């Protein structure tokens, strides 16, 4: 495999996954507005604050990216999530956000549902995520505290 191969180009269907009113959810990597993703993660997120644009670009390129767009004359990206997946054993949901003005309309829920139903994720036997405070949101989609925290290790 060439080092320049985009994992997303192997995993994505590059199509609209679903609509929620005027909001379109797609897995098309070409639709990702990196300015929005980097702007949110670097300035507003608690988990990747200060991250460089280059690191965000690489992480997005090497993941399955899902983005949410408001279908106006000039569509604007208002939400994002990505999944690191090998499609069969592990799928890690990460960088989920919805821009403030568009929250509490069910967008994150639809985004998580679309991610979990995606063909590159649906059969992964171990589905994981980290969250500081959105446990209730993810619990609606079947996520539970890790059953055996002693078995989980990390290194940074
Ligand atoms: C968390 C977030 C993605 C939710 O987006 P959203 O589109 O407003 O979510 P939805 O409308 O689909 O669902 C909101 C529901 O999730 C619940 N929820 C649980 N934890 C939450 C949290 N930390 N923040 C917001 N909503 C949360 C709310 O109670 C709400 O339920 P209700 O509508 O019955 O009151 C959004 O608030 C956000 O981007 N926050 C900043 C980034 C973040 O914390 N991301 C999650 C990292 S794990």
* DSSP result, the chain: --TT--HHHHH---SEEEEETTEEEE--GGG--HHHHHHHHHHT-SSSTT--HHHHHHHHHTSEEEEEEE-SSS-EEEEEEEEEE-SSSEEEEEEEEE-GGG-SSSHHHHHHHHHHHSTTTTT-SEEE---SS-HHHHHTTT----S-GGG-----
State which residues form the domain around 96.
7-142
CATH code where residue 25 lies: 3.40.630.30
Ligand 1 pocket residue status of 81, Cβ below 6 Å? no
Sign of CA dihedral 19, 25, 31, 35: positive
Determine, yes or no, domain membership for 147: no
- pTM beyond 0.75: yes
Atom of ligand 1 nearest to the CA of 99: 39
Nearest to 81 by CA among 39, 44, 110: 110
3-state SS track over 31-60: HCCHHHHHHHHHHCCCCCCCCCHHHHHHHH
Which residue's CA is the nearest one to ligand 1's atom 23? 134
Q: How far is 55 from 41, CA to CA, in rounded Å?
A: 11
Give 69 Cα–ligand 1 centroid separation in angstroms.
Answer: 17
Q: What is the count of structural domains for the chain?
A: 1
- 98 in a structural domain: yes
Q: Is 155 part of any domain? A: no
Q: What is the reported pLDDT for 132?
A: 97
Which of 76, 140, 135, 148 lies closest to 113 in space, CA to CA? 140
pLDDT, position 4: 54
Residue 150 lies in a domain: no
Q: Is residue 148 part of a domain?
A: no
Under 8 Å CB-to-CB from 47, ≥6 apart: which residues?
41, 130, 132
**pLDDT at position 136, please?**
97
For residue 2, is it within any domain?
Answer: no
Residues of the chain with pLDDT under 70: 1-5
In a domain, 153, yes or no: no
Whole-angstrom distance, CA of residue 17 vs CA of residue 26:
5
Examine residue 23 and state whether it is found in any structural domain, yes or no: yes
Q: pLDDT value at position 5? A: 67
State the pLDDT at residue 8. Answer: 83
Ligand 1 lined by 117 (C-beta under 6 Å): no
């Amino acid at each position: 495999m060439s080092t320049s191969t985009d994992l997303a180009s192997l995993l994505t269907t590059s199509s609209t996954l679903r609509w929620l009113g005027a909001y379109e959810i797609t897995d098309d990597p070409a639709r990702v507005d990196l300015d929005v993703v980097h702007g949110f993660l670097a300035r507003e997120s608690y988990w990747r604050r200060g991250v460089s644009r280059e690191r965000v670009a690489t992480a997005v390129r090497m993941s399955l990216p899902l983005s949410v767009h408001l279908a106006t004359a000039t569509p604007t990206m208002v939400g994002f999530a990505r999944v690191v997946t090998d499609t069969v054993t592990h799928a890690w949901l990460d960088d989920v956000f919805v821009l403030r003005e568009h929250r509490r309309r069910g967008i994150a829920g639809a985004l998580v549902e679309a991610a979990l139903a995606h063909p590159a994720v649906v059969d992964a036997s171990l589905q994981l995520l980290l969250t500081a405070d959105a446990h209730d949101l993810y619990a609606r989609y079947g996520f539970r505290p890790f059953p055996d925290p002693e078995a989980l290790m990390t290194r940074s």
